[in-house]
Structure formats: C-alpha cells, structure tokens
Chains A and B, each alone.
Chain A
Amino acid sequence: MKWVRNKLDQARKPFEPGQKFEKFAPAINAFDTFLYTPNHTTKKGAHIRDVVDLKRTMITVVFALIPALLFGMWNTGAQYLYQDLGLANVTDVPFWDAFIEGAILVTPLIIVSYVVGLTIEFIFAIYRGHEVNEGYLVTGLLIPMIFPVDIPLWMLAISVAFAVLIGKEAFGGTGMNILNPALTARAFAFFAYPLYMSGNAIWVHQGATDSISGETILGTLAQGKSVAYSFFDAAAGFIPGSVSETSTIAVLLGAAILILTKVGSWRIILSGFAGAAVMGLIFNAFGLNALMQFDWYMHLVVGGLAFGLVFMATDPVSAAQTMKGKWIYGFLCGFFGVMIRVFNPAYPEGIMLAILLMNVFAPTIDHYVIQGNVSKRKKRLAKAKAQLQTA
C-alpha cells in the first residue's frame, strides 16, 4: 500500500499550491481521496471527528441501489428474451442468458451517465475551486435506472447534462439544488423526447422495432384494458418498465439498507407509502372508472412508486429538512403520486411529477414547521414580558 501512496504523492506534486497545475487540484484530489481518506487533522472546533463523511454516505446509497440494479439487468434481458423466444413465462428465460443480455444493454447507459455527469462536475469543481462532491455517484447511477432501456445514448447524455447544469450547478451545486437531479433528467427527457419516454412500445428492448409488446401496467390501465399481471408479479418485478424500478422487493431491500444505516429517512419512505395507500383507498371508495377501481395495494407495487419513494423522495437536499416536514412531505409525495396516476393517464408515471412537485414545496413545508417553533419562542417572550409587567 505504501507504494501506491508514494506514487500518489509524486503525482500530486504539480498540483500543489504555487505549482503549474494548481488550478486542477480538485481533479487529482478527487482520485486521491477516493483511494485514501486524507491525513487532514482538525484545525478548529471539536478535536475529534466521526468516521462518517459524505463519501461513506453516498457509497452506502450506491450499495443500496445494487439489488435493484442487478435485478433490473436481469429483468431487462428476461423481458426481451421472453418475448423474442416466445416463452410461456418470464421466469423460463435461462438466468444467465437474461442477466448477460440485460447487462450488455444497461451498462452503456451507466457509462454515458457517469462520464457526462462527472465531466461536468469536475469542470465546475475546478472552475469554482472546491472539491468534487460525491453526490453524483448516486445521481449518475440513478439516472440510467429510471430510463427506458432503449433510450438513445445521446438523448441520455443531453438529459444528464441538463440535470447537472440546470438542475444543480445553476443553483450553486451540491446541497443547493431545489429539484432532485435524477428526476430532473427524467422529466427533461419525458417532455423533450416523449416518443422515447412514454407509450406502450418502449419498455422492452426493441419494443418499437420488433413486434414486441412492452406495455406497463399503468399504460394498460390508462387504455382501459384489464391488467394481466398479479400482485406477486408486480412486487417481484417480472414486468416491463424502466430499467430498475420494476421490482418492489429489490427496492425494499435497498430501503432496508438505507434505513438501517440511517442514510435514508424512514419517515419519508413510510409516510410516502401511507400517502399512496390513503389516496388509493379514497379512489377505491369512489370507484368511478377502471383506474379508480385499481386496488390500492396494487398502486404500491406497480410503476416507479416504490423506487421513487425510496431513492428519490429521500434525497436529503431536495426533501423537507425538518422531522415534521419529512412526514408531511413523504405523505404528499405518495398521495399526489397516485392522484396524478389516476387523474391523468397521459402521465402514467405520476410519482416522478409528484416528487418534483413536492421538491418545490419542501421549503414551504419546512417554513411552516419552523414558524411553529418561532411562534412558540415569541409566545414565551410575550409571557415573560407580561409577567415582568405585573411583577
């Protein structure tokens, strides 16, 4: 290990202050601190520090995404081969065939997302003279996971660039953005390239060219047809959809990692599912059309609801920041998600729009929660003043 350290120390020399490449220090720092947690010691404030840092936190989210990603790779391959080979069941596709086929299809998306996004992040870090923030490690993986597999790579690249530039850097970079960057990328593609982002032919590889049908459950419902998948199919994720959002079970595995490591807010996840269930129950009670009659518990497992609530709504930067605020924010994410789904079948993926909407309202929710605290303090002051006058 010493050898690696020495090499790194040598490589760093031209980037030291006063040297030729001083400006590009954030770039070499990003690689160095990836390999080694630096030898920096505390200069002020508390003399000792917790072992946790942003890298550790972000990597944990990446780990939490792995079950959904691996399942997504398998499912992408399986959905394609199942129809291509004309098998009876999705699960009849040989496991490794499906996984390898899926991996070949999904990996380019991941590479494009990371290359484009990280390039912009590095440029901004050098331009602004701060270190490269680790947030994009998560965003860069999330983005390919919520796109349809056949999205042309250049469209993906433009969506990523839009999300990072307009969604994040324009607001001041990591920690300052109002909207979740990954959802911004998806929303951008959704409105810019609707042909590639919605409809019933895009959710399985070559769905548009071959006569493969790749309708999502939500798409089917929107057309007033009956659903061909069971609760179990939907929960396990053996259904067409965006790359990695189909399996509620894989997503909940990730949720467990996030909650146990205290990286994701259980409040948002739990209240999000509660909100979706409540809205589902309300629709069930009215039951005016097929979409409204769609069982409330099915709402929880189909589409990107679980994925959105677990990995998108919990993004701490764009979510509500107060404890009470998180309960309200999460609940409304789920609530509006199902509402948009049912009321506007043209946008079957309501959860994306619901979370983006709530991202915008999160500061307002926080504002009112904090005002509660402020007015408590003001009341206490008024009481103390009144006591002083009577005394």
Chain B
Amino acid sequence: MSKDIRVKKGLDLKLKGEADKNIVAAPQSSIYAIKPADFHAMVPKLLLKEGAIVKAGEPIFYSKYDEKVKFAAPVSGTITEILRGAKRRILEVRISPNTSNEAVHHENMDLATASADQVRDLLLESGCWPFIIQRPYSVIANSGDTPKSIFISAYATAPLAGDPEVYLADKMGDFQAGITALSKLTSGKVHLSVGKGSSLQGVENAEVHTVTGPHPAGNVGVQIHKLDPINMGERVWTVGPEDVATIGHLFLTGEFKPERTVALVGTDAKESDRKYYNTIVGAQVNSIIGTVDTDHTRIISGDVLTGDRLSNDQFLNYYHNTLTLIPEGNEYAFFGWMPFTRNNVPSNAGTSFSKLLGGKRTVDTNLNGEERALVVTGEMEEMLPMDIYPLQLIKACMAGNIEQMENLGIYEVAPEDFALIDFTNTSKLEAQEVIRLGLDLMITEVG
C-alpha cells in the first residue's frame, strides 16, 4: 500500500532562470572525464593506462576497497590523460571519443526469470553499480549488501533542478525495466516517490508515493525518513531516476549507455539556451555552455544548494541532472546588514521582506555576511523535515562524538539534507561540510 508523503517544513526557493521543457541533443563533447571525486570515499585502482583505446562500457578503474565495483568508460575512445593531484591522487581520467561508437555488449537477460545474483553480477560487470548509492553515508553501495529497501525520488524540489518528468518522458520503457531489475536486489520494496499528477504513477514492481511540500521534500533522505527510517546497521539504497533508466537500458539491450539529460538553468545562461540537453555522463561543460567568464559567472554542476563549482574546461558531475549558471556576487553592499534592506535577495528570515514580497528572484553567490559563532536557535529545525535535532547533530559531528551522532540520527541524513540549513543559517555555518565530515568519521570508525 502506498503512503503519501506530506512535508511541511522546508523552503521552496523561487529563482529566475528555469529551463524550457524541451530536450535537445547536446553537441558531442570533445573530451569526457570520469572523476573519482564524484564517488565519495572511493579509492580508484586503474585498469588501463594512458593511451589505451576503450569501448563504451569497458571498465577503466575499480574501487580499491570493493574490487567488484567497476567504473566504465562512458564512450568509446582513447584515454588521453590521467590527471593527478597532490599525493598522485587521481583527479580525472580523460577520454577523447572516437567515431567507432564501439560498445561492450553484455548478454541479454530476461528480467522475469533472472535471479538476484545474476542481476547483481551484471550491474557490477557493466559499470552500472556506481549508480547505486547507499544510505547511511551517501556513498556507493557495497557489492555484497542486500538493502532493506530501495528508494527512487522522481520528484525534484531543489531550486531550478532538472525535472525527472521531463527527462524520463522518452525513457519510460528503460525506467520500468530498471525498477524491475532493482526490485530483485532488495529484501523489501522499491519505493518510487513522485509529484502530484505524475506520469510515473503507473510504474510496476514499486510502491509509488505521492510527495507534496516544499524543498527538501524531493530529497530521497526525507522520503526514507518518512516511510522507512534507517536504523543502526541497516542499509538502504537510492538510485537517481535517470540512472534507473540507464540500468533498465542495460538489461533490455545489453549495453551500458550512461545518458545524462541536463537542465541548463540560472540567470547567467542565455534564455534561448535554457533547456534540457541530452549528453553522456562526464561531458565537458563547455560542450553545452561554451566559454563563460568565470570571474562574473559561477558554473555549478548540480543545483545552487548542493552542486559542485566548475571551471569552463571541467566536467559534469557523474550524477547531476542540472547545470546552473548564476552571477558571482563579489560586490560590497553598503550597510547591507540593515534590516528590511536588500529584499531582492531570497531569504527565509523575518528581518527581510523577501518572503512577503514573493516572486522569483535572481541570486548570486555572495555570502551576505561573515561566519560567526552559533547564536540563533530554532531556525535549523524549520529547514529539516525530519524528527532529528539538526543543531545538536551538527555539534556532535563537530565534536566527533560518535555515540551522540548515532543517538541523534546520523545514519538517517546525508549532506544534501542540510543544504537549506547552509542557506538559511544566520551564522553562515557550513552545515553540509560538517555533516560530510561527520559521516566520513562514521565510515572510518564504524564502517
């Protein structure tokens, strides 16, 4: 039986710069890259060297601590460069595509009769496994785990985020197959959350939930918390909606074809350019946006709350369906702290008319103040629709108090759930970073 999810707390940031709901094919990127940094806490072990020629779907590296988890080339081509950073850490594996479009072909599998182990082996072998994210910790799932349930959120509430309804429209067959495949892997159910009036209501082999409410209602973590909260020692998996379709495509055709439909949004993107672009995972952002002046414009892979900052020649994050361009706010504001001034900046505070005035806003990246000691209380709770004390959890993470973190529900949260707290908190505390460090501590200490 499906349960509806109603979320009251949170904040819908209404920003200018939405994407038109048209999907166009993006020009082919001259170079693609897989960045190990996109896979948090994963240490890569290379399988191929610079200069190697790869087919699409051919493994290029695997996870040091879970050797079965392989990462495949998104396109066929040549590994032109393996970019390394400090301590020879691998930053990017760059592939320049060739025209052969050769792909690794896996055996077709009949999902109706396939066993869980068969499904699992194909996902691992094909390079689809990294799409499966595990909660707690928000990292790639262990290859040996059986989760108590799998959650897919096809309801995007983050500001200007790409809408799954748009980019799944042409992939319903793949999406359904992906859900069926995933449903084999859990001892419980696959939960699919959709918005009101969604075209995904009829999906089979999953429990479909209708979600209403402001951001972060679309965050899969909030949905898990409302439906089937994670207890200590339990594992829940989450998969992004387009990744489910990629998994389904694998089972239907035997090919790993990691398409990525990216919504180009934000006020610094030309209005005529703001639409959905169909490209491949790891595409270089200038293939979509050309070259922009990064002194005045910030390129964000992802949404404005959780995304990664990029430069022109960098690459889309492995998981993101949104590409945002907003102005840098590196300007002074005369007496900018005066209450009820600067109402054009979006705000949840009572000391600005911003919320009362309503309407869509232009945002920039100004910090609008400086970091200060934690003074104001009660504001974080308004942004986290979970039965969790956010301030106390943040403090426990800062102190590295593992027992207290467990008690306060660290297993149920991911950094993205604290993104709105980043945005609203008066002290300009980096809540997402604190939670990430807290989770990292849990990974090393508890596992």
Contacts and interface: CB of A to CB of B under 8 A. Distances in A.
User: Do A and B associate with each other?
Assistant: yes
Interface stretch (A45-53, A75-83, A197-205, A217-225): A45-53
Given A50-B348, A51-B345, A56-B349, A40 B367 contact: yes
A289 B363 CA distance: 64
Interface residues of B, number: 75
B351 A37 contact: no
Interface string A281-317: 0000000000000000000000000000000000011
A131 B372 contact: yes
A51 B231 contact: no
Contacts of A63: 339
Contacts of B363: 48
A51 B378 contact: no
B307 A47 contact: yes
Contacts of A4: 334
A40 B333 CA distance: 11
A386 B334 CA distance: 61
A376 interface: yes
Nearest to A53: B369
B306 interface: yes
Most central of B329, B368, B392, B420 by chain A CB within 10 Å: B368
Contacts of A380: 229, 231
Interface string B403-447: 000011100000000011011111110111100000000000000
B373 interface: yes
Interface string B325-349: 0101111111111110010011111
B231 A37 contact: no
A377 interface: yes
B387 interface: yes
Interface residues of A, number: 60
Interface in A105-149: 131, 133-135
A206 interface: no
Interface stretch (B18-26, B44-52, B204-212, B297-305): B297-305
B375 A54 contact: yes
B349 A52 contact: yes
Nearest to A260: B350
B370 interface: yes
A268 to B, nearest CB: 10
Give 10 closest A-B pairs by Cβ, nearest first. Answer: A53-B369, A37-B336, A175-B373, A262-B350, A55-B337, A52-B349, A46-B422, A261-B350, A51-B345, A37-B333
Interface of B: 13, 229, 231-232, 234, 298, 300, 304-307, 309, 324, 326, 328-339, 342, 345-352, 354, 363-379, 381, 387-389, 391-392, 407-409, 419-420, 422-428, 430-433
